[in-house]
């Protein structure tokens, strides 16, 4: 659990980028399964096991049925050399940052509220089932 907490305490800037593209990286396309969630920037972590979203190249479908269309994806490298995909949508102010972790096949997902200066809302530890 300490390792999971350390992963969820990692964060990324939502603003920096090295590459811009209009679609989501194929490695992130599929069903996103969340195993852990934090509502306080990783300070406390709760175990969960639920389908979080279904991502394709140009949209994401949330469990409540909402579909968000990808506007652009900014790809950057974190301070520790991991790849981070920052996903912005055309029909919602929510943005996502999906970063590689030290656990093979696991990603840190951060959700941000664009109406509030991109304040972080939630963190998840996810895997992608393709």
What residues does 123 pair with on adjacent strands? 38, 110
Which pLDDT score, from 0 to 100, does residue 79 have?
80
Q: For residue 97, what is the domain's CATH number?
A: 2.40.128
Name the residue range of residue 11's domain.
2-129
pLDDT for 11: 52
* Residue of 6 and 80 predicted with greater confidence: 80
Give residue-wise pLDDT tens across range 23-36. Answer: 999 999 999 999 99
Angle at CA of residue 107, ends 117 and 68, nearest 5°:
55
pLDDT of residue 4 exceeding 60, the answer is: no
Tell me the pTM. 0.85
Radius of gyration from C-alpha coordinates of the chain? 13
Minimum mean pLDDT range among 15-19, 76-80, 82-86, 111-115: 15-19
| pLDDT tens per residue across span 35-79 | 999 999 989 999 999 999 999 999 999 999 999 999 999 999 888
Q: What is the b/e burial string over 90-120, where b = at least 16 CB atoms within 10 angstroms of the residue's CB? A: eebebbbbbbbbeeeebbbbbebeeeeebeb
**What's the domain count of the chain?**
1
Partner residues linked to 63 by β-bridges: none
């Amino acid at each position: 659990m300490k390792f999971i907490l350390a992963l969820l305490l990692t964060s990324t800037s939502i603003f920096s980028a090295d590459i811009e593209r209009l679609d989501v990286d194929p490695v992130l396309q599929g069903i996103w399964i969340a195993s852990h969630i934090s509502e306080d920037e990783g300070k406390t972590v709760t175990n969960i096991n639920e389908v979080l979203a279904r991502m394709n190249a140009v949209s994401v479908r949330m469990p409540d049925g909402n579909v968000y269309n990808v506007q652009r994806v900014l790809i950057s490298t974190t301070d520790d050399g991991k790849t981070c995909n920052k996903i912005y949508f055309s029909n919602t102010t929510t943005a996502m940052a999906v970063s590689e972790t030290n656990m093979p096949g696991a990603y840190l997902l951060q959700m941000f509220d664009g109406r509030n200066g991109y304040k972080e809302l939630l963190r998840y530890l996810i895997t992608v089932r393709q």
